[in-house]
């Protein structure tokens, strides 16, 4: 007897397919929960940057970094096609001035594909309440079969560090005041040997616990303490994901320019940025003679002046003060990633990683 098709037989495959799709969508929502916006401390009336709120404005002699510093261009480079859903994809070619804020506010047209972005807001329990705090936040993900994105907004003197290989990415955010706040008038802001800066930045990306924090002049405006124990979202760099000969590992840093300098000018903290590069390369197992195996680029950005209403109004509404990393397992050339530091774009499949 020939098999008889029933309504149940026709509907069951459709029901199972719908449930599987729902599970896939819920995975993104759970894994990439949004953590809200993050702002740096306010500036003084003289447009001093945030750390000057602690020790007074310091006139640094900031020399040009010996490593490559790139200017934030006025124009931007498009990928060769608009985003699509089947087969090999291209990243959205929407202008970063509108696209990055859309990702941050979860209104981007490709949100369903990349999932809700991970943010870089630290949170700590204060009394019985969970509050936003100044602790460092970092994320590390291997490049597997699920797309994802990481985004930070309201950067206003903070530093972003992104380490990426063919297998994984590690990305971190460091608050300016909290990371650099311990100096006094007799110590320069760019002291890369400062114990507090080493504990809050270098030991953080090395994954080393701080058991006896060095006293700091900076006290958290949220917790009232001078040290905040990093939370579970402050993972250190796993060298084994970035140190193979064929990993093609690159280091990208976004840090503020010195006061009075244009975007792409002298860095505010050149010695500390050099030390970050040196320490990360060392952490991956490379000696000084092999540092060239981990190329590094530093993007010097011009912070918005929050004392000017017209600039404060731009916060998280343009690409200014924003950073975005996206990974697409079905990208151009296979697994692909893209990094935006404001409107400076880096891409995994282009020469020198420039978009």
Residue 33 confidence class, pLDDT cut points 50, 70, 90: very low
Per-residue pLDDT, 270: 96
Of 327 and 291, which is predicted with more confidence? Answer: 327
Of 40 and 117, which is predicted with more confidence? Answer: 117
Most confident of 82-96, 223-237, 328-342: 328-342
pLDDT tens digits, one per residue of 108-160: 999 999 999 999 876 666 666 666 667 889 999 999 999 999 999 999 899 99
> Among 21, 335, 322, 334, which Cα is nearest to 148's?
335
Q: In what order do the strands lie in the sheet with 148-152?
A: 148-152, 323-331, 334-341, 344-347
Per-residue pLDDT, 81: 30
The answer to whether residues 249 and 283 touch, using CB atoms and an 8 Å cutoff, is no
Per-residue pLDDT, 188: 80
Q: How far apart are CA 322 and CA 340, in angstroms?
A: 8
53: phi then psi, degrees, rounded to nearest 5: -65, -20
185: phi then psi, degrees, rounded to nearest 5: -60, -25
Instruction: Name the percent of the chain lying above pLDDT 90.
Output: 48
Per-residue pLDDT, 177: 83
Residue 35 confidence class, pLDDT cut points 50, 70, 90: very low
Of 154 and 51, which is predicted with more confidence? Answer: 154
Instruction: Name the percent of the chain lying above pLDDT 70.
Output: 68
Q: Report the chain's mean pLDDT, rounded to a whole number.
A: 75
Q: How far apart are CA 336 and CA 82, in angstroms?
A: 15
In the predicted model, is pLDDT for residue 299 greater than 70?
yes
Most confident of 80-94, 124-138, 187-201: 187-201
Of 20 and 104, which is predicted with more confidence? Answer: 104
Residue 61 confidence class, pLDDT cut points 50, 70, 90: very low
Q: Which residue has the tokens 């060392």?
A: 282
Helix, strand, or coil (residue 112) = helix
Q: How far apart are CA 110 and CA 102, in angstroms?
A: 10
Length of the chain: 355
pTM of the shown model:
0.75
pLDDT tens digits, one per residue of 199-228: 999 999 999 998 988 877 777 777 777 777
Per-residue pLDDT, 76: 30
In the predicted model, is pLDDT for residue 307 greater than 70?
yes
Per-residue pLDDT, 49: 40
In the predicted model, is pLDDT for residue 48 greater than 80?
no
In the predicted model, is pLDDT for residue 314 greater than 90?
yes
In the predicted model, is pLDDT for residue 165 greater than 50?
yes
Most confident of 36-40, 144-148, 179-183, 259-263: 144-148
Per-residue pLDDT, 181: 63
Q: How far apart are CA 78 and CA 302, in angstroms?
A: 23
Per-residue pLDDT, 340: 97
Helix, strand, or coil (residue 130) = strand
| DSSP string over 140-182 | EEE--SS-EEEEE---SS-EEEEEE-SSEEEEEEE-HHHHHTT
pLDDT tens digits, one per residue of 247-281: 999 999 999 999 899 999 999 999 999 999 999 99
């Amino acid at each position: 007897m020939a098999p008889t098709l029933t309504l149940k037989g026709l509907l069951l495959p459709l029901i199972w397919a719908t449930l599987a799709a729902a599970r896939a969508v819920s995975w993104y929502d759970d894994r990439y929960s949004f953590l809200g916006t993050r702002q740096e401390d306010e500036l003084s009336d003289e447009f001093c940057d945030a750390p000057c709120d602690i020790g007074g404005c310091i006139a640094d002699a900031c020399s040009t970094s010996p490593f490559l510093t790139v200017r934030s261009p006025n124009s931007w480079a498009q990928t060769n096609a608009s985003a699509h859903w089947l087969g090999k994809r291209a990243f959205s070619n929407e202008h970063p001035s509108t696209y990055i804020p859309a990702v941050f506010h979860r209104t981007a047209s490709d949100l369903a594909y990349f999932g809700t972005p991970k943010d870089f807001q630290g949170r700590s329990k204060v009394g019985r309440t969970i509050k936003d705090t100044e602790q460092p936040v970092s994320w590390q993900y291997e490049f597997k079969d699920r797309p994802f994105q990481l985004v930070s907004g309201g950067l206003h003197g903070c530093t972003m560090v992104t380490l990426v290989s063919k297998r994984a990415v590690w990305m971190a955010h460091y608050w300016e005041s909290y990371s650099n706040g311990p100096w006094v008038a007799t110590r320069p802001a760019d002291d890369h040997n400062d114990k507090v800066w080493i504990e809050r930045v270098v030991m953080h990306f090395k994954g080393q616990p701080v058991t006896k924090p060095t006293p700091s002049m900076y006290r958290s405006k949220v917790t009232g303490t001078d040290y905040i124990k990093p939370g579970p979202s402050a993972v250190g760099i796993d060298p084994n994901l970035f140190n193979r000969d064929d990993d093609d590992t690159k280091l990208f840093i976004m840090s503020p320019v010195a006061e009075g300098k244009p975007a792409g000018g002298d860095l505010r903290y050149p010695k500390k940025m050099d030390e970050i590069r040196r320490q990360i390369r060392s952490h991956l197992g490379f000696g000084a003679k092999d540092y060239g195996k981990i190329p590094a680029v530093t993007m010097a950005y011009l912070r918005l002046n929050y004392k000017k209403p017209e600039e404060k109004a731009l916060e998280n509404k343009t690409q200014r003060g924003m950073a975005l990393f996206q990974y697409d397992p079905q990208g151009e050339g296979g697994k692909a990633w893209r990094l935006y530091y404001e409107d400076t774009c880096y891409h995994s499949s282009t020469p020198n990683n420039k978009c």
